[in-house]
């Protein structure tokens, strides 16, 4: 019960907190862009089975690989890609929390 609560709190709560604190003037837009980071879960469709509650996504799925994570971290540097990078990094943080709590 704790694992899904932590996972979804990070996925939805952390971007909201960041948007409200750092992007006050356009928090809804910032929140929406960060939430789009969940689209990297589309790579789960390549796995068999698609969902395995006992599988750690990190370095298993292509968009959760260490190489992809390095790109997501680099996206944090330029201002024009920062929100996308934040959304992707927050997604990875949620998945790391899953791996730890398994």
State the pLDDT at residue 32.
97
State the pLDDT at residue 34.
97
State the pLDDT at residue 12.
96
pLDDT band at 95 (very low <50, low <70, confident <90, very high): very high
Question: Over 80: is that where the pLDDT of 1 sits?
Answer: no
Between the alpha carbon of residue 2 and those of residues 62, 100, 101, the distances in Å are 27, 12, 8
Placement of tokens 């929390």 in the chain: 97
Q: Is the dihedral of CA 62, 42, 97, 88 positive or negative?
A: positive
State the pLDDT at residue 2.
84
Q: Tokens for 5?
A: 């609560």
Give, as one character, the DSSP assignment of residue 12.
Answer: I
- 59 φψ region: left (φ > 0), alpha (ψ -120 to 50), beta (else): left
Q: Rg of the chain over CA atoms, in angstroms? A: 14
pLDDT in tens, 10-62: 999 999 999 999 999 999 999 999 999 999 999 999 999 998 888 999 999 99
pLDDT in tens, 75-90: 999 999 999 999 999 9
Considering the entire predicted model, what is its pTM?
0.93
Placement of tokens 């260490």 in the chain: 66
């Amino acid at each position: 019960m704790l694992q899904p609560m932590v996972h979804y709190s990070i996925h939805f709560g952390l971007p909201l907190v960041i948007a409200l604190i750092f992007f006050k003037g356009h928090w809804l837009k910032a929140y929406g862009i960060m939430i789009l980071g969940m689209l990297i879960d589309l790579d789960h469709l390549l796995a068999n089975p698609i969902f395995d509650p006992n599988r750690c996504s990190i370095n298993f799925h292509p968009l959760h690989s260490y190489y992809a994570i390095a790109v997501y971290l680099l996206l944090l540097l330029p201002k024009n890609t920062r929100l996308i990078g934040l959304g992707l990094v927050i997604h990875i943080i949620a998945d790391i929390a899953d791996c730890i709590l398994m």
